């Protein structure tokens, strides 16, 4: 029994020595070195393929931005309700919803007995006023010589002034109904009212149709002008003290691609919404594209001012696991002819502008660090492969 044990033990020892002396593969060496150093090793060929370039964190003057969401809205003076000054029956509608119209273009024609009566009354008062003016002038002369009493003179003046006021009021009403009172005669009384557009724009909310009886000041249709829209933003109360009128706003529209548009803040609300804790802010811009419509969703950045910050090119930052941002860096001692070892450092990103972004390191880098400013995404991909 003891003889068998003495023979087996040397054999086991020889097998262990043989396994220990096996030469490991190159891949295993690199993997073990990378794991031991806590970095990512890339060969010189891989570095050349990725087009890796180095840089460093530098001070730059960047605008501080406040992010806000909102929508496009129309200014109040861009919406005009078209109404009739007199009740009447709709004779014809000369446009349709969504149609573009010019200022002065005919929209609706109405037939109105009240309108006809107003013209008749205007002409009657106008003729009466001639006689009342003559009587007023006569009584004034008689009263001056004390031939007529003050009472008769005051009555003549009052009658004249009452008729003059009525004529003026009727004239204003007829002018609003597009009647030229200077051309109004007994033989050219208009039988119908013509409603014309008061501005260039698009027809919306048409409620008039032939045969419908409409009341005074009832809205027949709206004409809206989209040339100057407003951006209505909801700014969180924690950021509102940074926002001022005149500041620039950059915004995009979700349904119009990634094109960036510009606006200027014109007003800031004075009330915090109790439910969402936001303040209403309005910015104005010129709708040069013509594709923008009121109600479209907006994502924006309000440029509140400039500040000197530590920044890197935006390409240097890569996202990992959600909102965690990292940069890749190396040092002189970790760069060799065969390749380079890279490390990652977590950063907190800040404001960005013109291809640069503010970075705040969670811990200091070695003094001789070189940060990857081009090719960082390739490194992230390689890091993910090795992790698998």
Q: Does the pLDDT of residue 71 top 70, yes or no? A: yes
Highest mean pLDDT among 96-105, 173-182, 255-264: 96-105
Specify the pLDDT at position 376: 87
Compute φ and ψ for 331, nearest 5 degrees.
-125, 170
- Chain position carrying tokens 């941002």: 325
Per CATH, which fold does 65-76+225-306 belong to? Elongation Factor Tu (Ef-tu); domain 3 (2.40.30)
Tens digit of pLDDT for each residue in 348-369? 888 777 888 888 998 888 888 9
Decide if 355 contacts 374 (C-beta within 8 A): no
Least Cα distance to 207 among 198, 217, 192, 194 occurs for 217
Specify the pLDDT at position 188: 87
Structure tokens given for 192: 């119908």
pLDDT-derived band of residue 388, with 50, 70 and 90 as boundaries? low
Q: Does the pLDDT of residue 374 top 60, yes or no? A: yes
Span(s) in the chain for CATH 2.40.30.170: 65-76+225-306
Specify the pLDDT at position 219: 94
Structure tokens given for 198: 């008061």
Span(s) in the chain for CATH 2.40.50.100: 77-224
Over range 281-288, report the average pLDDT: 86
Decide which of 3.65.10.10, 2.40.420.20, 1.10.287.3510, 2.30.30.30 is the CATH code for 37-63+309-387. 2.40.420.20
Over range 68-97, report the average pLDDT: 92
Over range 19-46, report the average pLDDT: 53
Alpha carbon separation from 30 to 36, 378, 385 (Å, rounded): 10, 18, 14
pLDDT-derived band of residue 150, with 50, 70 and 90 as boundaries? confident
pLDDT-wise least confident of 99-103, 122-126, 289-293: 289-293
- Whole-angstrom Cα distance, residue 271 to residue 131? 61
Specify the pLDDT at position 38: 58
Tens digit of pLDDT for each residue in 86-122? 999 999 999 999 999 999 999 999 999 999 999 999 9
Specify the pLDDT at position 322: 67
Q: Does the pLDDT of residue 4 top 60, yes or no? A: no
Span(s) in the chain for CATH 2.40.420.20: 37-63+309-387
Specify the pLDDT at position 386: 74
pLDDT-wise least confident of 33-42, 148-157, 271-280, 331-340: 33-42
Average pLDDT in the chain:
84
pLDDT-derived band of residue 153, with 50, 70 and 90 as boundaries? confident
Least Cα distance to 237 among 351, 68, 352, 73 occurs for 68
Per CATH, which fold does 77-224 belong to? OB fold (Dihydrolipoamide Acetyltransferase, E2P) (2.40.50)
Highest mean pLDDT among 26-35, 260-269, 304-313, 324-333: 260-269
- Whole-angstrom Cα distance, residue 319 to residue 4? 63
Secondary structure letter of residue 333 according to DSSP: G
- Chain position carrying tokens 């087996």: 8
């Amino acid at each position: 029994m003891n003889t068998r044990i003495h023979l087996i033990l040397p054999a086991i020892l020889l097998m262990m020595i043989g396994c220990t002396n096996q030469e490991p593969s190159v891949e295993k060496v690199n993997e073990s070195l990378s794991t031991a150093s806590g970095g990512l090793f890339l060969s010189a060929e891989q570095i050349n393929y990725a087009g890796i370039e180095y840089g460093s964190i530098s001070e730059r003057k960047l605008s501080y931005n406040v992010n806000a969401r909102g929508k496009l809205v129309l200014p109040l003076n861009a919406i005009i309700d078209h109404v009739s000054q007199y009740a009447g029956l709709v004779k014809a509608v000369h446009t349709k919803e969504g149609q573009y119209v010019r200022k002065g273009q005919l929209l609706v024609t109405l037939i109105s007995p009240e309108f006809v009566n107003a013209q008749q009354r205007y002409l009657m008062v106008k003729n009466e006023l001639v006689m009342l003016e003559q009587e007023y002038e006569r009584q004034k002369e008689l009263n001056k010589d004390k031939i007529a009493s003050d009472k008769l003179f005051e009555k003549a003046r009052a009658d004249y002034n009452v008729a003059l006021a009525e004529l003026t009021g009727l004239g204003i009403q007829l002018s609003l109904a597009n009647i030229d009172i200077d051309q109004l005669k007994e033989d050219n009384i208009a039988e119908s009212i013509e409603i014309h557009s008061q501005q260039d724009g698009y027809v919306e909310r048409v409620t008039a149709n032939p045969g419908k009886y409409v009341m005074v000041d009832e809205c027949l249709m709206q004409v809206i002008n989209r040339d100057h829209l407003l951006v209505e933003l909801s700014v969180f109360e924690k950021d509102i003290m940074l926002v001022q009128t005149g500041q620039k706003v950059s915004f995009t529209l979700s349904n119009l691609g990634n094109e960036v548009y510009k606006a200027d803040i014109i007003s800031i609300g004075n009330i915090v919404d109790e439910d969402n804790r936001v303040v209403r802010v309005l910015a104005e811009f010129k709708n040069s594209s013509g594709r923008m419509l009121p109600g479209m969703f907006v994502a924006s950045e309000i440029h509140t001012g400039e500040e000197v910050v530590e920044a890197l090119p935006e390409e240097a930052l890569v996202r990992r696991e959600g909102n965690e941002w990292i940069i890749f860096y190396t040092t002189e001692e970790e760069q060799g002819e065969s390749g380079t070892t890279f490390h990652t450092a977590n950063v907190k990103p800040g404001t960005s502008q013109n291809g640069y972004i503010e970075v705040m390191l969670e811990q200091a880098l070695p003094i001789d660090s070189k940060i990857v400013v081009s090719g960082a995404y390739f490194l992230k991909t390689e890091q993910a492969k090795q992790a698998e």
